[in-house]
């Protein structure tokens, strides 16, 4: 089985594996944390297969996912590209958002310590703080680049205008967003803006948080402590409709000689050389399945057929719960810089 290749992200020199590895589920949100040594072995296996672009965040755990990565990367740090994030705060079980410059610096230093590395390859603002001008947050990130603590800057869940304003302060290398067969709302403005500015695109939840692997059966393996229990698209009122979409995906994938999850990942890969999916997994078997997807070829007609089924409004139910959408790109406009002076 061939290893995965590489892609360039942005215009500043970052080169990553063409498929990344989302590490969140190893520690957070998708059921209880997974056994540490198994996850370390999985990360090592991924890196040996060429999956070197590793995605984490300080709030996965919180903190424990970065600590896990820090342990896994002993001796192999130079082989990987570490992407982590700041900006979602947690205190007493309450999550908030901060883009305050002093907070950005403290968060970066804490992440460096947990990861036990000298620099972070790609440092994203996880969610935009609508009370701080994006220019102020970017000003601090620019200083961190100059000091060598981070190499490249990214934004996650930022609107087109926020991306544009941020990019004017310091080049944005990548924007991370949810982009998959059933979440295509960024195609109207955000994706074209990234392309105009030469910004790379990193897509999280490309497998629909696992739905494109097993459809409604996913619910059988989801425990009470799993975030997906509350996912609008998996609720009974939406499930039948979404399951019908999954059936159609399965029909096409059997014709193409691959699995539905491989077809879902291949669709993201076919969006362009500037797009890198980061499927999350906690299992070597699933990692191997996902790697195979990079060699699934889709013709223009295949893409047309898939997109006719998974059009922009195809899925029933929102991609996230309402309170999370409040923190997404749809609500990421910050005050003008002039308000600081
Ligand atoms: P996220 O970005 O939020 O991690 P995702 O990549 O769309 O979301 O999907 C992640 C989910 O898909 C995980 O629950 C993962 O389960 P495992 O940890 O058990 O692998 C599941 N998943 C990933 N690859 C899979 C595959 N090839 N077959 C089945 N399930 C898979």
Average pLDDT (33-47) is 98
Binned at pLDDT 50, 70 and 90, residue 1 comes out as: low
The verdict on the CB of residue 25 being under 6 Å from ligand 1 is yes
C-alpha 45/C-alpha 48 separation (Å) is: 5
CA of 278 to the centre of ligand 1 (A): 10
- Confidence at 329, pLDDT banded by 50, 70, 90: confident
Q: Kindly tell me if the per-residue pLDDT of 2 is higher than 80.
A: no
Residue 214 Cα to ligand 1 middle (Å): 10
Asked if 87 and 117 touch (Cβ cutoff 8 Å), the reply is no
From 92, 6, 13, 104, select the one nearest 49 (Cα to Cα): 6
Coil vs helix vs strand at 129: coil
**CB half-sphere exposure, 61, CA atoms < 13 A:** 18
Strand-pair category, 6-9 with 14-17: antiparallel
- Catalytic residue, chosen from 60, 103, 123, 204, is 60
Query: From the alpha carbon of 211, which atom of ligand 1 is closest?
Result: 12
Q: Residue 282, SS3?
A: coil
pLDDT digits (tens, 9 = 90+) for 189-203: 999 999 999 999 999
Whether 119 has a pLDDT exceeding 90, the answer reads yes
Helix H or strand E segment including 125? strand 120-125
Q: How many C-beta atoms surround the C-beta of residue 122 within 10 A? A: 25
Helices (H), 202-269: 211-214, 236-256, 260-269
* Statement: the pTM of the whole predicted model exceeds 0.85: yes
210 lines ligand 1 (CB under 6 A): yes
> Out of 3.40.50.720, 3.40.225.10, 3.40.50.20, 3.20.20.100, which CATH number does the structure's domain 6-332 have?
3.20.20.100
Is the minimum distance from the CB of 20 to ligand 1 under 6 angstroms? no
Of all protein residues, whose CA lies closest to atom 3 belonging to ligand 1? 205
Indicate the pairing of strand 81-86 with strand 120-125: parallel
Residue 314 CB: number of other CB atoms within 10 A? 17
pLDDT confidence of residue 135: 98
pLDDT digits (tens, 9 = 90+) for 64-104: 999 999 999 999 999 999 999 999 998 887 889 999 999 99
Q: Is 282 in the pocket of ligand 1 (CB under 6 A)?
A: yes
Mean pLDDT of 26-44: 96
Count H helices, E strands: the chain?
12, 12
Distance 54 CA to ligand 1 centre (A): 15
- Summarised one tens digit per residue, pLDDT across range 204-233 is 999 999 999 999 999 998 988 888 988 999
- For range 135-162, the mean pLDDT: 98
Tell me the domain boundaries of the chain.
Answer: 6-332
| Res 340 pLDDT > 90 | no
Nearest CA owner, ligand 1 atom 29: 213
**d(C-alpha 75, C-alpha 300), whole Å:** 43
Q: Please say if the pLDDT value at position 317 is more than 80.
A: yes
Contact 69, 53 (CB under 8 A): no
- For the chain, the average pLDDT equals 95
204: Cβ below 6 Å to ligand 1?
A: yes
Is 103 considered catalytic here? Answer: no
pLDDT in tens, 276-301: 999 999 999 999 999 999 999 999 99
Q: Can you spell out the DSSP letters for 212-229? A: HHHGGGGGGG--TTBGGG
Query: Residue 86 forms beta bridges with which residues?
Result: 125
Distance 296 CA to ligand 1 centre (A): 18
Share of the chain above pLDDT 70, in %: 99
Is the CB of residue 277 below 6 angstroms from any atom belonging to ligand 1?
no
The two beta strands, 172-178 and 150-156, are parallel
Mean pLDDT of 249-259: 98
Q: Judging by DSSP bridges, how do beta strands 94-97 and 120-125 pair with one another?
A: unpaired
In the chain, what is the straight-line distance between the N-terminal and C-terminal CA atoms, in Å?
A: 58
Report pLDDT for 229. 87
Cβ 215 under 6 angstroms from ligand 1: no
Would you state the structure tokens that stand for residue 138, as one six-digit string?
């970017």
Residue to mutate (ligand 1; options 25, 53, 55, 269; most atoms within 8 A of CB)? 25
pLDDT bucket at 341, cuts 50 / 70 / 90: low
List Cα–Cα distances, 13 to 172, 200, 264, 329, in angstroms.
12, 11, 28, 26
If residue 82 lies in a helix (H) or strand (E), which one and from where to where? strand 81-86
């Amino acid at each position: 089985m061939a290893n995965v290749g590489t892609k360039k992200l942005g215009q500043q020199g970052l080169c990553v594996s063409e498929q990344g590895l989302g590490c969140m589920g190893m520690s957070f949100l998708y059921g209880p944390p997974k056994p540490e040594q198994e996850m370390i072995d999985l990360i090592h296996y991924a890196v040996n297969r060429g999956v070197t672009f590793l995605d984490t965040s300080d709030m996965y755990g919180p903190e424990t996912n970065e600590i896990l990565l820090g342990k896994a990367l002993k001796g192999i740090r130079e082989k990987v590209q570490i992407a982590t994030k700041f900006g979602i705060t947690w205190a007493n079980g309450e999550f908030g958002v901060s883009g305050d410059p002093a907070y950005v610096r403290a968060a970066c230093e804490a992440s460096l310590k947990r990861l036990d590395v000298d620099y972070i390859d790609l440092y994203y603002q996880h969610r935009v703080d609508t009370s701080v001008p994006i220019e102020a947050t970017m000003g601090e990130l620019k200083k961190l680049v100059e000091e060598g603590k981070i190499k490249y800057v990214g934004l996650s869940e930022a609107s087109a205008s926020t991306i544009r304003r941020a990019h004017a302060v310091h080049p944005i290398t990548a924007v991370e967003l949810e982009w998959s067969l059933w979440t295509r709302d960024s195609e109207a403005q955000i994706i074209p803006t990234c392309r105009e500015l030469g910004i790379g695109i990193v897509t999280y939840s490309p497998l629909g948080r696992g739905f494109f692997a097993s459809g409604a059966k996913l619910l059988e393996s989801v425990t009470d402590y799993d975030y997906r229990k509350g996912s609008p698209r998996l609720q009974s009122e939406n499930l039948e409709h979404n399951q019908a979409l999954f059936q159609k995906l399965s029909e096409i994938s059997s014709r193409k000689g691959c699995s539905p999850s491989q077809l879902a990942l291949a669709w993201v890969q076919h969006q362009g050389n500037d797009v890198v999916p980061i499927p999350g997994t906690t299992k070597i078997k699933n990692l191997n399945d996902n790697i195979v997807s990079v060699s699934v070829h889709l013709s223009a007609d295949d893409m047309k057929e898939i997109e006719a089924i998974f059009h922009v409004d195809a899925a029933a139910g929102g991609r996230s719960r309402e309170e999370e959408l409040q923190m997404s790109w749809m609500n990421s406009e910050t005050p003008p810089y002039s308000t600081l002076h």
